[in-house]
Chains A and B, each alone.
Chain A
């Protein structure tokens, strides 16, 4: 083989390799927008969820910290002040008129005031809040274990998920699909650290962090921790709500199982 043909062959192979690299990267953008390719990638979510659930077991607790570990400033994210007349009225009266509605597949639907919630045994926990974006903050939360509320309401057969309807609209839409909502399954709903928090860092829950009530579901990422909770609905499937993926951010591309 002569040196010359050797070189041209090499140059050809090199340009082939470079071209293939560029094509692969351009192709990835196209694949990301391709429904069936995205569906394959979404299978990973189930793999991750099943793997984590088998490692976690039912009751493994998220680490709890001490007062010394508290973030000096706890970043407020998402909605900082719900933009509705209804919420403005509730805030004006310091949530005296606010009621938490508990309904759906329950034996005894509830309408609970903040005072009612505070009469339940409370749990206080200092935990790390992990945002999907990558930042973390440590805060102290006080609230009522969700399990107590669900027990008070009594689940009907077929109950599988708990859906949290919120007061804030992150996206202004005509059909209301921009309203924040979230869902968790009963395994997380009955976890001892899953609480409906009305207190933060020793004070009433501030508006920026979801007053009067927010969810804490400590083994998952921040977007699961719904703020401004107005209504808890127990369902057998969350497919009928808005985009059908089980949450505001889930409808916009994030995973329903947010343990990673």
Chain B
């Protein structure tokens, strides 16, 4: 850790070891944190909704009598309530976490436990209200971010990988560097690395739009207005399954994202997403 604090380049005549750049615009910072709130609320209220029918199907219809490729359930075995997770023909006992968990001090049949659902107790109506309210917020926030990114050149400038970054040798180099938890310093840290850019693009233009579209496809009203939507995903039950799978991918992204933020310089990253200022170590110096 440095003991000297430096200002903007050229601000101080004293020897400097790092200087600050403006990394994130105000729009990016605000939409980022609002997105954090939305995704958290949507995940927890989404699990409340999932708990109402904890089975996933593929196709145009899917209910209890139909084959579920994924299911969380419970079974009474010799006076003991046991929780199970089924994925295809795989069956895993998950008592205490999935299928059966503690609620008000007693083992209760519920797919996801109280600490992962919003509200914590069973209330599908309330869960739906939270979910749809934050879905509106997520979509509004996302549209602001997208329009700002398109018109102000954020995507072109900061997220589209440079030609040099897409060279297979370079990509492989980045993969190895990431595996060793070594990150760019100095001038190279001014821009995102290629893996970072590709994963952000995948989330912004892949996973989040897929989340919204599969969510809308579950609405009978929207399906009547846009009849191609269920067909696009193979049916409402398929869209519901994709909604769950995409949510799982987003959770995976967030976990990796947070780990990367921590190991590549937690405070510098966090500061840049709050104040916009990001410290760059001057060339030839250790940060």
Contacts and interface: CB of A to CB of B under 8 A. Distances in A.
13 contacts: A3-B1, A55-B222, A61-B224, A62-B223, A63-B224, A69-B61, A75-B63, A132-B128, A134-B240, A135-B55, A136-B236, A138-B61, A253-B126
A130 B63 contact: no
B136 interface: yes
Contacts of A32: 118-119, 123, 126, 130
A174 interface: no
Interface in A176-194: none
Contact of A136 (B219, B226, B237): B237
A249 B236 CA distance: 23
Interface stretch (A87-95, A203-211, A217-225, A230-238): A217-225
A136 B62 contact: yes
A152 interface: no
A104 interface: no
A25 B115 CA distance: 9
B224 A60 contact: yes
B231 to A, nearest CB: 8
A133 B237 CA distance: 12
Nearest to A257: B221
Contacts of B223: 62-63
Interface of A: 1-3, 6, 10, 25, 28-29, 32, 38, 40-42, 44-45, 47-48, 52, 55-57, 60-63, 65, 69, 71-75, 128, 130-138, 218-221, 249, 252-255, 259-260
B60 interface: yes
Given A28-B118, A73-B63, A1 B220 contact: no
Contact of A72 (B3, B41, B66, B236): B66
A178 to B, nearest CB: 17
Contact of B125 (A28, A218, A252): A252
B279 interface: no
Interface centre among A65, A75, A252 (most CB of B within 10 A): A75
Instruction: Give me the 7 closest cross-chain CB pairs, A-B, nearest first.
Output: A259-B221, A253-B125, A73-B65, A134-B53, A260-B219, A133-B52, A135-B63
Contacts of A221: 220
A245 to B, nearest CB: 11
A41 B129 contact: yes
Interface of B: 1, 3, 5, 41, 44, 49-50, 52-53, 55, 57, 60-66, 115, 118-121, 123-126, 128-130, 132-133, 136, 218-227, 230, 235-237, 240, 267
A132 B124 contact: yes
Contacts of B218: 130, 134, 260
Given A28-B130, A32-B130, 13 more contacts: A3-B1, A25-B120, A28-B44, A41-B129, A44-B129, A52-B221, A55-B225, A63-B223, A130-B236, A219-B220, A253-B124, A253-B126, A255-B125
A71 B222 contact: no
A134 B52 contact: yes
B60 A128 contact: yes
B129 A38 contact: yes
Contact of A44 (B63, B126, B132): B132
B53 A259 contact: no
A135 B64 contact: yes
Nearest to A222: B220
Contacts of B50: 134
A136 B61 contact: yes
Contacts of A133: 52-53, 124
Interface centre among B121, B130, B221 (most CB of A within 10 A): B221
Contacts of B240: 134
A193 B221 CA distance: 13
Given A25-B118, A63-B227, A128-B236, A52 B222 contact: yes
